[in-house]
Amino acid sequence: MLQITQLNKSYENHKALTDVSLSVPKGVIFGLLGPNGAGKTTLIRIINQIIEQDSGTVELDGKPLSPEDIKKIGYLPEERGLYKKMKVWDQLVYFARLKGLSQDEAKRQIKSWLEKLEIASWRDKKIEDLSKGMAQKIQFISTVVHRPSLLILDEPFSGFDPVNAEIIKNEILELKKNGTTVILSTHRMESVELLCDQIAMINRSRKILDGTIREVKSSFRPEVFQISLARIKRDLPMEWIANNQGDIWDFTLPLSGRMPNQLLNELMEFGEVMEFREQIPSMEEIFIHQVKSTSHE
Amino acid sequence: MNKIFLVIQREYLSRVKKKSFLIATLLTPLIFPAIMGVFVWIAMSEKENQSLRIIEVIDETDLFFMESSEQYAFTSSVDDPEEAKQMVQEGDRYGFLHIPKIDLANPQGIQFYGVENPSLSLMGYLESALKRKIEDQKLYQLGIDPKVLKEIRTDISIQSITLGEQGEEKVNDATVNYALGFISGILIYVFIFVYGNQIMQGVIEEKSSRIVEILVSSLKPFQLMMGKIVGIGAVGLTQFLIWVLLIGTLSTVVMGVLGMQMPQQQAMELANPEFAQATPDAGEVATILQVINGIDFVTLVFSFIIYFLGGYLLYGALFAAVGSAVDAPSDAQQFMFPITIPLIVAYMGLFVFVLQDPTSSASFWLSIIPLTSPIAMMGRISYGVPFWELALSMGLLVLGFLFTTWLAGKIYRIGILMHGTKPTYRILWKWIKASQ
């Protein structure tokens, strides 16, 4: 769907993107992660043709980006806003038409979205009379109203209360089901684990990690197991530092070169294995670990 | 192109639909005549209620007899200047004119005392009266009979006629030309400022409310900028047109009420000079109408539209650039300077040079340089401007606005995406140089 190759972009006194290559397959939710100032916004702006790269290519559906592709992309920037004095309806029609929809098509789409999100009664209200969460819903509609095949959402959940965030999350999942590709840029790792199929992590202008969630996680396995033993037959070695609650003993052990089954066999000698689970890091832990390790180079 | 049109449409409708636009558009043509009416009324009632101002005169030469007018009366009741000053201070006299013994060849040392600053008109009145007296005195000394002098004195007004290349004669009137140049110059000045500011406010609104990032993902920054400039310009033109129609209708109605002849009828009289000459009563009105008739209105209106739009586009782009560079209107001040200065120079130049002497070299340059020409040239048009000067000025104006638009476009497309930085001129210069 989206193929980014060797993208470079520098500003006057710093490099925003260094040789960044990404491949976003069709129909996935692709998480774009990275701390502030890493280069995510620059990358997103290049995909949106707001700015131009210094070198490298961006291809959409196998062809280099062209002005016609604006219609195929829906963009919800992190810093977003609406015309405060404009009515909801007029505003949505304006944004839809700027994306290239005809007047009739724009009206039809907006009508169905307003009904879908159960906010049809707001159509003649001005944005300044709406709450922040309400305005965010309008903003979301303006992003998807032209049925983009690529949706770029920068921190889409900021400003939403949990109820509305859930509504938007479900809308995103439904769009994905209908074949829309979504790039989700966020710091909120819990939404990454819930929503994303694939991720790429950017730090200090470089891509430092990418792959499916499962791949990323397995490559960051510390090879440590969480173990619970019951009905101890022998004394446990001192270095295991086990805590007991009644006759249940909890502790962690690294593989230290053994295969998991070997470790399990060893454990069975000491008692009944109640729990034997590999410790898998959360995306948040990977994120923090990666950012720290690449920032101190 | 289609997207620019959408922006123009939004900018236009969102402003024209506002109640404030409707109110301003409908009230302004009423307010201006109303304010002027109030001034005229105050001036007239002041004149009526004005008590005669008595001015004490001590004339040590015994040569001057000051003639009293409707406003000022002259008396000579005391001989001691200190006593006269006392009278002024106590309010018995409005002022005190002291004429010491003077040398007629070099009259120095005449003084006027008052408790308040004398008005320009009073000083002018006194000076011209004394001047005439001294001249009379000199002529008398040369042996000319005062009676003869009185007979010589004649009131005269000159009718100015310019000759065209084909020898056609055109009646001129400096007052009419002055008024036309004055009004059209001021209109362009006000228009550029008012609507230029609206452009700037609009850009700042889109930037500070972060709408702009969404907009530029749908269209090019340049399209957005041009759409805004043209849309707001269209609002201005609409407002202007409504004013012209309203004022036209109002004045026609007022003239009708006052029982004056309709302009068309006047025009018919003018077309038939014998008829006009046959009614000498209408002489003065006819002269003014003759003058108005003599003005090349096609050129005037055409030029007005060109300079109106050209000046607006030239400055509009600069206003947009300033708006894009800052986060809030209060930060805009520092960049307003280079925009306001040429406008004010043009405005001052209009009064100091252009309207005083439309053919002076200062007037020429002011009306050629694109930054000042929209205002300055309008001051010259009604006096008649050689074709090549007009063509040069308009050509440069077009180049000028292409240049400022190009320049502003470069600042704009970077500026609108920059938040939190307070740009300096040095940074703006870098933006202009940056390729992207």
Instruction: Give A6-26 pLDDT, tens digit per residue.
Output: 999 988 778 889 999 999 999
The CA-based diameter of chain A, rounded to the nearest angstrom, is: 79
* Cα B355 from Cα B346, distance rounded (Å): 12
B97 lies in some domain: yes
Partner residue opposite B213 with nearest CB, options A12, A73, A77: A77
Q: Total structural domains in chain B?
A: 2
* Cα B429 from Cα B436, distance rounded (Å): 13
Which of B91, B123, B152 terminates a domain? The answer is B152
A126, A86 Cβ separation under 8 angstroms: yes
Has the ipTM of the complex gone over 0.90?
A: no
Tell me the helices (H) and strands (E) count for chain A, helix number first: 9, 14
Placement of tokens 């939403």 in the chain = A160
Domain that holds residue B417: 172-433
Q: With CB atoms and an 8 Å threshold, state whether B419 touches A85.
A: no
Cβ partners under 8 Å of residue A134, min gap 6: A119, A122
Contacts of A80 in chain B (CB under 8 A): 210-211, 213-214
B180 lies in some domain: yes
B73, B92 Cβ separation under 8 angstroms: no
pLDDT for the residue numbered B262? 42
Placement of tokens 């001047």 in the chain = B131
Q: Which of B213, B215, B216 to mutate to test the interface with A (most CBs of A within 10 A)?
A: B213
Length of chain A equals 297
Contacts of A95 in chain B (CB under 8 A): 214, 218
Q: Which of A66-70, A178-182, B153-157, B162-166 has the lowest mean pLDDT?
A: B162-166
Q: Does A8 touch chain B (CB under 8 A)?
A: no
Tokens encoding B217: 């993902």
Same domain, B90 and B145: yes
* Cα A184 from Cα A155, distance rounded (Å): 7
Same domain, B386 and B334: yes
B33 lies in some domain: no
A20, A54 Cβ separation under 8 angstroms: no
Cα B156 to chain centroid, rounded: 28
Q: What are the pLDDT tens digits along chain A (297 aa)?
A: 899 999 999 887 788 899 999 999 999 999 998 888 888 889 999 999 988 889 999 999 989 988 888 889 999 988 888 998 899 999 999 999 999 899 999 999 999 999 988 888 988 999 999 888 888 889 999 999 999 999 999 988 887 788 888 888 899 999 999 999 999 998 777 778 888 999 998 888 898 888 888 888 888 887 888 888 888 888 888 778 778 788 888 888 888 888 889 888 888 888 888 899 888 888 888 888 888 887 765
B378, B301 Cβ separation under 8 angstroms: no
* Cα B85 from Cα B94, distance rounded (Å): 10
**Please, what is the average pLDDT of chain B?**
81
Q: With CB atoms and an 8 Å threshold, state whether B214 touches A12.
A: no
* Beta-sheet strands, E only, within A141-271: 150-154, 181-185, 198-203, 206-212, 224-230, 243-245, 248-254
Task: State which H helix or E strand residue B56 sits in.
Answer: strand B53-59
Same domain, B206 and B129: no
A59, A23 Cβ separation under 8 angstroms: no
Chain B residues whose C-beta sits inside 8 Å of any chain A C-beta: 3, 6-7, 10, 14, 205, 209-211, 213-219, 417, 419, 430, 434, 436
DSSP annotation of A228 reads E
B30 lies in some domain: no
CATH number of the domain bearing residue B141 = 3.40.190.10
Residue B166, Cβ neighbours under 10 Å: how many? 5
* Cα A217 from Cα A88, distance rounded (Å): 43
Fold classified for A2-218:
Rossmann fold (3.40.50)
Same domain, B326 and B424: yes
| Separation of first and last alpha carbons in chain A | 33
Helix H segments across B326-360? 333-349
Which of B121, B152, B183 terminates a domain? The answer is B152
Same domain, B289 and B342: yes
Placement of tokens 């000051």 in the chain = B66
